[in-house]
Structure 1
Amino acid sequence: MSSTLDLYRRVTALPQGKRLFSVLYGQKAPYFASIHMSVEKMRPHLGQVVIPKRRSVKNHIGTVHAIAACNGLEAAMGLLAEATCPPDMRWLPKGMDVRYLAKSTTSLTCVAETTEADWAAAPDVPVRVKAVTTDGTVTVEGAIHLWVVPKRP
């Protein structure tokens, strides 16, 4: 089990644990903190965060900015990758292909998903991602491509 997944399981078992883990994970990369996300789920093949609709993530028309959504998608993917990547391997994002499908008018749930078959195709591992509004509208969808290779000694 990855140290991040182990930390997630230990911290989220505590009162206010999800909130605490979200803050800790938001500090892992400074740009994660900029979206004020809440980590909702972390397990093998699934990562999920929520980006609240607030002034700091809005664009000039008052919707959640597309790049803030992509930031949330990358955060969700990181949770998934940390929980799924075999301990003798390492992962690096090598690209993101996304489509903006609708205005993000509410808070967004950002979801990243894979299957065992996706990971069997390593070193190229596609992670399906989507951002969804509170009414179920998919506003952004696509894939983040990972490069999964053995760790160097």
Structure 2
Amino acid sequence: MPALLDLWKKMSAVPMGNKAFSLAFAQKAPYFATIRPTFRVIEPNHVELTFPKRRAVHNHIGTVHAIALCNGAEAAMGALAEVTIPKDKRWIPKGMDINYTAKADSDITIIAETDPEQWAGDDPDLHVRVRALTKSGVECFDGVIKLWVTPKPAKA
């Protein structure tokens, strides 16, 4: 949706604008606020956000909890879908296939990506690739979030 991309471009161009945008985005789906995401890149087919490793997102061994990683991935995917989807289509998540590949022992960067041609076809199944990196660049999480993309119904 161009409105979200336009808002991002305006807000991220000013000091602390990405923080303000991230706070507003997290209020749209309040569960996202639990990880305190900060969007770093929002463009069609590519979104990056970070969130801090802090006690509220720890698991029993003191690393970032798996569900906090999933929450970050879903936030990044949602922003990606909104700024990438063609105007005549709508989307809804329908599943997630995730692999935990290393301990998430630092602040986290989440990356969500698609290819432009994925949005052009008629196949309603669309997979958004997601991954999480630790501060030192170790990939601690990868997978796909499955979307169901369909034409918008005609307005009555």
1:6 CA displacement: 1.3
* Cα distance between partner residues in 1 of 2:12 and 2:136: 27
Structure 2 counterpart of 1:58, one-letter code? H
8 A Cα contact 2:133 2:140, kept in partner: yes
8 A Cα contact 1:81 1:91, kept in partner: yes
* Cα distance between partner residues in 2 of 1:49 and 1:105: 17
8 A Cα contact 1:18 1:38, kept in partner: yes
Deviations 1:84-123 (A, max 9, x none): 0011111111110001111100011000000012223431
Alignment of 1:1-153 (within 5 A): 2-121=2-121, 122-152=123-153, 153=155
Give the secondary-structure state (helix, strand or coil) at the position aligned to 1:106. Answer: coil
Give the secondary-structure state (helix, strand or coil) at the position aligned to 1:20. Answer: helix
Aligned length: 153
Structure 1 counterpart of 2:116, one-letter code? E
Deviations 1:55-93 (A, max 9, x none): 111111100001000000001101111110011111111
8 A Cα contact 2:86 2:119, kept in partner: no
* Cα distance between partner residues in 1 of 2:118 and 2:86: 13
Q: Mind listing any 5+ residue stretches in structure 2 that lack a counterpart?
A: none
Give the secondary-structure state (helix, strand or coil) at the position aligned to 1:27. Answer: helix
8 A Cα contact 1:97 1:142, kept in partner: yes
The alignment-based identity, stated in percent, is: 51
TM-score by length of 1: 0.96
TM-score by length of 2: 0.94
- The runs of at least 4 aligned residues of structure 1 exceeding 2 Å deviation read none
Structure 2 counterpart of 1:134, one-letter code? K
1:2 CA displacement: 2.0
Q: Mind listing any 5+ residue stretches in structure 1 that lack a counterpart?
A: none
* Cα distance between partner residues in 2 of 1:69 and 1:129: 10
Give the secondary-structure state (helix, strand or coil) at the position aligned to 1:87. Answer: coil
CA RMSD after TM alignment: 1.1
Which one is further off, 33-42 or 7-16?
A: 7-16
Structure 2 counterpart of 1:123, one-letter code? P
